[in-house]
Amino acid sequence: MSIAPKQPAMIVFDNVGMRYPNSAHLFRQVSFKIDKGDFVLVTGHSGVGKSTLLKLMAGIELPTGGNILINQQNIGQLHANAMPYLRRRFGLVFQDHKLLYDRNSFDNVALPLSIQGITGDEAARRVRAALDKVGLLNKEKALPITLSGGEQQRLAIARAVVSRPSIVIADEPTGGLDKTAALEIMQLLKAFNDVGVTVVIAMHDVTQVSAIAYRTLHIDHQMVSTLPAQGAIL
């Protein structure tokens, strides 16, 4: 937990329960807070509900019990029409990238902007800035299929940050990458965190990233426990 004077938490889970129809509870009465500027890892074995926890944070799934507050907004009480606007505050990096393979890198990154009605020069400027940050500026014309795994993941990150979200949520962003590539991704995400972006990452293999300071939410047996912040062990 941050020791700094309390400003309203970014994400609050208050006694959240979650179960999918016809299956057992994933969580019961989970409560925690994520503050602005936190760098949080969500850990746990596969199948334990890391992705679901992230989806709950991003308003993609709704909890079956309790309350979730994003920026003090209770998403359970949010009108369906307001949900898209809430989602725009998040930069999402999906486990399976969800890149669009029918268009080049530039157009992939431009998608969130066009959803917000930003097109033309303004959009191009911001897309190139995002591609530059992830080191893919020279690949803007490349189709995603021609990129390596690490590059695809970085492209997905560029798409997540192009609309300057206050929270970036990444689901297994290092999955399937070797150690060097994984570390690159983590450093990239940390760089966004350093400029004030709240970053939440789901990850089953923490050893890969021990080089970076983080707070951990550990999921086990339907409960989420908060582990203290760990120092950088570079």
Residues forming contacts to another protein in the complex (CB under 8 A) are 58, 60, 81, 84-88, 90, 92, 94, 98, 100-102, 111-112, 114-120, 159
Output the smallest distance, CB 79 to another protein, in A: 12
Q: Exposed, middle or buried, 76 (CB in 10 Å: 0-12/13-18/19+)? A: middle
Structure-token pair, residue 206: 């923490």
Length of the chain in terms of residues written: 234
Output the smallest distance, CB 82 to another protein, in A: 10
Q: Please name the residue that has the structure tokens 């949900």.
A: 83
Judged by CB, which is closer to another protein: 54, or 212?
Answer: 54
d(CA 215, CA 42): 9
Judged by CB, which is closer to another protein: 109, or 217?
Answer: 109
What are the distances in angstroms from CA 76 to CA 9, 109, 165, 177? Answer: 17, 30, 21, 36
Output the smallest distance, CB 84 to another protein, in A: 5
Judged by CB, which is closer to another protein: 126, or 159?
Answer: 159
Structure-token pair, residue 27: 């969580």
CB 160 within 8 A of CB 96: no
E strand or H helix at 26, and its extent?
Answer: strand 25-34
Judged by CB, which is closer to another protein: 8, or 84?
Answer: 84
Judged by CB, which is closer to another protein: 119, or 148?
Answer: 119
Output the smallest distance, CB 108 to another protein, in A: 9
Buried b (16+ CB within 10 A) or exposed e, 126-158: bbbebbebbebbebbeebbeebeebbbbbbbbb
Output the smallest distance, CB 152 to another protein, in A: 14
Other CB atoms within a 10 A radius of the CB of residue 169 amount to 26
Output the smallest distance, CB 185 to another protein, in A: 19
Judged by CB, which is closer to another protein: 59, or 150?
Answer: 59
